[in-house]
Amino acid sequence: MILTKDILQTTLRVSQALWGETTTSLDLCTDTLATVQLLGLDQSAFLKRSIRALVERSERESEKTNSDFLNQSLYRIHPLERALLVLLYEFQWTGDLLTETFEISADELDTLIWKSKLDLLTHRSGGKLFSIPTPRGITPQCPEWNGSRPWTARYLDQRLSRADQIFVHGHVDGCTNCRSLLEQSRTLLTEAKTTYEASMPEKPTDKNISEMMKILGQGETYALGKPLPAAEAFRQMVRQRKDVQLVIIGLIGWMILRLTQ
Ligand SMILES: [Zn+2]
């Protein structure tokens, strides 16, 4: 499988949201990707499995998050929520891709996206208050309101079906209550995005990406996340040279003789 720049950029950015500091993120990301490489997946499956592996690793090793970053609200929410926000905000992943990656249903995804944004705002430094959209005076003609995955958020993110998107658009035009819900939601989502952007470290440089590419691109010389150039060079030399093979066989024979005497 060929590792693309796109895969490295996505996974490294998710790592930054998990561990904060760039060097740690780079090391842990490279190490995780090298392990997933052993599974021999195609590119699409590799990317999804790597993202999940990173989140799982972060859940196990949460203490590795650099303490400087813990003041940022992003680093105080669940690792899965952080990964989700990166993929949504920076890589515009579709709902289908996200449900496949995290192995959850579409409803679970909607709930998780909404919760991650609320959590982000809840953990803002200084405990700055925000208001949660509250329905008032809705009628049976209004779209059904579910506080844990409101239609307003899905509408604004364009994650409703095309038919629902058109229905809501028409309905909101004539319904003051739903229009108010939509505006409240828009304000909340804008604040969440601003908070996210203020929390994330700078994007990885091209140099960071090519460092990763160099290590991972070595394929079989890479074991347990650490490059072994000397050992690999020796192995290749032995494989190619009959005289060296004979010397090694002779040496082993001599050692066996010594040990058995
Ligand atoms: Zn309405």
Distance in Å, CA 185 to ligand 1 centroid: 14
Q: Indicate the domain borders of the chain.
A: 5-213, 228-260
Q: What is the pLDDT of residues 147-199, one digit of tens each?
A: 999 999 999 999 999 999 999 999 999 999 999 999 999 999 999 999 999 99
Distance separating alpha carbons of residues 79 and 63, to the nearest angstrom? 12
Q: Is the pLDDT of residue 247 over 90?
A: no
User: In the block, which residue shows the tokens 């499995």?
Assistant: 49
Q: How far apart are CA 141 and CA 144, in angstroms?
A: 9
Ligand 1 centre and the CA of 145: distance in Å?
10
What is the distance in A from the centroid of ligand 1 to the CA of 143? Answer: 6
Least confident of 76-85, 87-96, 109-118, 205-214: 205-214
The mean pLDDT value for 103-123 works out to: 96
Cα 44 to the chain's mean position, in Å? Answer: 14
| Centre of ligand 1 from the C-alpha of residue 125, in Å | 35
Check if the beta carbon of residue 167 is closer than 8 Å to that of residue 141: no
Please give the Cα distance from 49 to 39 (Å, whole number): 10
The pLDDT of residue 22 is above 60: yes
Residues 6+ apart with CB under 8 A from 66: 19, 20, 21, 24
Contact 171, 178 (CB under 8 A): yes
Average pLDDT, the chain: 87
Q: What is the per-residue pLDDT for 66?
A: 60
> 227 has which bridge partners?
222
Rounded to the nearest whole angstrom, what is the distance from the C-alpha of residue 104 to the centroid of ligand 1?
30
218 falls in which pLDDT band (50, 70, 90)? low
Rounded average pLDDT over 30-44 = 95
Query: What is the CA(85)–ligand 1 centre distance, in A?
Result: 29
Q: Answer whether residue 226 shows pLDDT above 50.
A: no
What distance in angstroms lies between residue 135's CA and the mean position of ligand 1's atoms?
Answer: 9
Give 176 Cα–ligand 1 centroid separation in angstroms.
7
- Cα–Cα dist 159/170, whole Å: 17
Q: What angle do CA 112, 116, 117 make, to 5 degrees?
A: 125
How close is the Cα of 89 to the center of ligand 1, in Å?
28
Structure tokens at 76: 């105080």
Residue 230, pLDDT score:
58
Give dist(CA 195, CA 193) in Å, integer.
5
